[in-house]
């Protein structure tokens, strides 16, 4: 068991600002251990950073409320909330305690437990859409509000992140974040805090522009 078993990333990994953490998470592996011991996992290929009281796109832009409170929590904890009444969205809390910041995990490349993920997704599932999108990946891994505020650095919680591969900068594309509301003004509307693996089939819609980085 030496060297071959990856252990969860430590809280220190998530302590830098959310933008750096979002970039660093590309290539890491999100792991879910089901109650029966089954291991599901996928490689993170798309993230978004939400940080600071100033960021008008972030839930942390307003005072602490019952919903957004986890964003002020310890680095490496989970912030899971319901979107549109249907979909659970998984974020990892970044930055030191009392600094409201999180990284939204938007897409995974499925690695382990594909059959179980397909079962979780129901009849609508196709292999290419399994974990492409934040709502879909939560469904596939059976992540729900029950995971809110849990520590992703503690394997006992059944959900954690392991070190994976490193994507060099020339394989990473940045883009404005998805789903900005009308009350999000510049610079927050266009700031390129969405990180995607270039040309990866599991990056969600809308696909970022593939304009060459020269």
Partner DNA sequence: CCGAGGATTATCT
Partner DNA sequence: GATAATCCTCGGA
Residues that bind DNA (CB under 7 A): 48, 50, 57-60, 62-63, 65-68, 71, 79, 81-87, 89, 91, 102, 104, 121, 124, 129, 133-136, 177-179, 181-183, 204-205
C-beta of 36 vs 205, nearer to DNA:
205
How many whole angstroms separate alpha carbon 202 and alpha carbon 194? 15
User: Which of 179, 103, 89 minimizes the C-alpha distance to 135?
Assistant: 89
C-beta of 170 vs 205, nearer to DNA:
205
Q: Least CB distance from residue 71 to DNA, whole Å? A: 7
List 48's β-bridge partners, or say none.
104, 194
Q: Least CB distance from residue 214 to DNA, whole Å? A: 27
How many whole angstroms separate alpha carbon 78 and alpha carbon 74? 9
3-state secondary structure of 152: coil
C-beta of 81 vs 155, nearer to DNA:
81
Q: Is the dihedral of CA 59, 158, 131, 27 positive or negative?
A: positive
C-beta of 182 vs 209, nearer to DNA:
182
C-beta of 96 vs 155, nearer to DNA:
96
Q: Least CB distance from residue 173 to DNA, whole Å? A: 17
Q: Least CB distance from residue 60 to DNA, whole Å? A: 7
Question: Looking up tokens 């600002």, which residue turns up?
Answer: 17
- At a CB cut-off of 8 Å and minimum separation 6, what does 56 contact? 183, 184, 185, 188
Q: Least CB distance from residue 172 to DNA, whole Å? A: 19
C-beta of 13 vs 188, nearer to DNA:
188
Q: Least CB distance from residue 201 to DNA, whole Å? A: 15
How many whole angstroms separate alpha carbon 83 and alpha carbon 32? 21
How many whole angstroms separate alpha carbon 195 and alpha carbon 19? 9
């Amino acid at each position: 068991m030496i060297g071959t078993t990856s252990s969860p990333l430590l809280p220190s990994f998530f302590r830098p600002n959310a933008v750096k953490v979002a970039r660093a998470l590309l290539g890491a592996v999100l792991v879910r251990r089901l109650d029966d011991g089954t291991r599901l996992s996928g490689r993170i290929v798309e993230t978004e950073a939400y940080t600071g009281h100033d960021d008008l796109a972030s839930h942390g832009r307003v005072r602490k409320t019952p919903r957004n409170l986890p964003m002020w929590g310890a680095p490496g904890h989970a912030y899971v909330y319901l979107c549109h009444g249907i979909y659970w969205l998984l974020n990892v809390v970044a930055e030191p305690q009392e600094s409201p910041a999180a990284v939204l995990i938007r897409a995974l490349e499925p690695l382990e437990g594909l059959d179980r993920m397909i079962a979780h997704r129901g009849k609508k599932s196709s292999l290419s859409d399994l974990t492409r999108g934040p709502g879909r990946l939560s469904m596939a891994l059976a992540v729900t509000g029950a995971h809110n505020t849990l520590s992703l650095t503690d394997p006992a919680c059944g959900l954690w992140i392991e070190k994976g591969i490193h994507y060099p900068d020339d394989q990473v594309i940045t883009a404005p974040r998805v789903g900005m509301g009308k009350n999000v003004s510049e610079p927050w509307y266009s700031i390129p805090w969405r990180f995607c693996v270039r040309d990866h089939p599991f990056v969600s819609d809308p696909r970022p522009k593939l304009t060459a980085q020269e």
